[in-house]
């Protein structure tokens, strides 16, 4: 075979490989260009695991280490119409001390291609879980409602301003920590990781909690299969009955979503609660530093 023929063959093989790669990538819609709400008849199924780590100092303890725990969340989201998406999610503390946790319903209403209103409501059973022969198991029933938005405004073809989330289980951070027993706080005791602007929860004779959140993010799509989002903002958590006061947060998170095939997203997020202080009653304080509330979330989302 002559050098010219060999060169031509190598170019043909290279061209075929490039065409095959382009063809495979063509079926993957980048996260940055996807509609905010699901098209009519489309369904997303999500399995999400969350690892939460809080420093012991959060509770005024001085020994080294942390309270750690995991939750598991399941969600289904459906495109009711091209402009309305509804969803249902369930979150369960699994370690330490498996139990029932939270259930919520979600609805998104598309107003513009770049903007959708979000409504959430649900129930949480918060408190102490574990072996009743070893710990004092106790629960409080709390009910919540929330209002927010999912916004995605392109800045360039690969960068967009974003805020909020569109999946039911992405409502917030379902927090479960513990040592010998599990302490389930749900997603409304501390709302700094919520995707909604306003969260109100109460019930069971405990304090009414009002969370005000101003989340913002920058989504970068370097490749159709990979999206990276830097999330930040400000959050205030108001305790409005009993002991009154306000907790202040500047949360920070880094999220990555990989789409290896058109029907599947694999996501991960590392977040810091970003506690910066309290105001009001002197008894309202987390006794924590900026880095003392940490979480890692991972999820699989299947598009049906």
Nearest one of 175, 173, 189 to 69, comparing CA atoms: 175
Are 128 and 219 in contact, with CB atoms under 8 Å apart? Answer: no
Q: Which of 22-31, 108-117, 166-175 shows the lowest per-residue confidence on average (mean pLDDT)?
A: 22-31
Q: Is the peptide bond before 96 cis (omega within 30 degrees of 0)?
A: yes
Condensed to tens digits (0 to 9), the pLDDT of residues 173-201 reads 999 998 878 899 999 988 998 999 999 99
The mean pLDDT of 122-130, rounded to a whole number, is 93
How would you class 187 by CB atoms within 10 Å of its CB: exposed for 0-12, middle for 13-18, buried for 19 or more? buried
Condensed to tens digits (0 to 9), the pLDDT of residues 32-85 reads 999 999 999 999 999 999 999 988 766 555 555 678 999 999 999 999 999 999
Are 160 and 173 in contact, with CB atoms under 8 Å apart? Answer: no
Q: What is the pTM of this model?
A: 0.85
Strands 293-303 and 275-280: what pairing?
unpaired
Strands 252-261 and 226-239: what pairing?
antiparallel
CA angle 299, 146, 193 (to 5 degrees): 45
């Amino acid at each position: 075979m002559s050098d010219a023929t060999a060169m031509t063959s190598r170019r043909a093989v290279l061209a075929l490989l490039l065409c095959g790669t382009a063809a495979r990538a063509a079926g993957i819609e980048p996260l940055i260009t996807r509609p905010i709400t699901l098209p009519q008849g489309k369904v997303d199924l999500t399995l999400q695991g969350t690892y939460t780590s809080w420093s012991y100092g959060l509770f005024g303890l001085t020994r080294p280490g942390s309270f750690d725990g995991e939750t598991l969340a399941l969600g289904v989201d459906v495109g009711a119409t091209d402009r309305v998406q509804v969803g249902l999610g369930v979150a369960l503390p699994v370690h330490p001390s498996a139990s029932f946790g939270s259930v919520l319903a979600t609805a998104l209403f598309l107003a513009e291609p770049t903007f959708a209103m979000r409504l959430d409501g649900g129930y949480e059973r918060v408190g102490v879980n574990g072996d009743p022969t070893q710990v004092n198991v106790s629960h409080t029933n709390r009910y919540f409602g929330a209002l927010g938005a999912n916004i995605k405004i392109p800045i360039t073809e690969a960068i967009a301003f974003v805020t909020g989330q569109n999946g039911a289980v992405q409502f917030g951070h379902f927090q479960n920590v513990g040592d010998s027993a599990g302490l389930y706080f749900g997603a409304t005791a501390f709302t700094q990781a919520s995707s909604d602007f306003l969260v109100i929860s109460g019930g069971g004779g405990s304090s009414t909690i009002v969370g005000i959140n101003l989340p913002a993010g920058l989504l970068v799509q370097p490749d159709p299969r990979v999206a990276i989002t830097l999330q930040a903002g400000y959050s205030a958590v108001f305790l409005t009955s009993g002991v009154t006061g306000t907790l202040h947060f500047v949360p920070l998170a880094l999220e990555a979503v990989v789409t290896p095939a058109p029907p599947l997203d694999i996501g991960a997020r590392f977040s810091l609660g970003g506690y910066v202080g309290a105001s009001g009653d002197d008894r309202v304080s987390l006794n924590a530093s900026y880095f003392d509330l940490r979480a890692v979330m991972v999820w699989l989302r299947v598009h049906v």
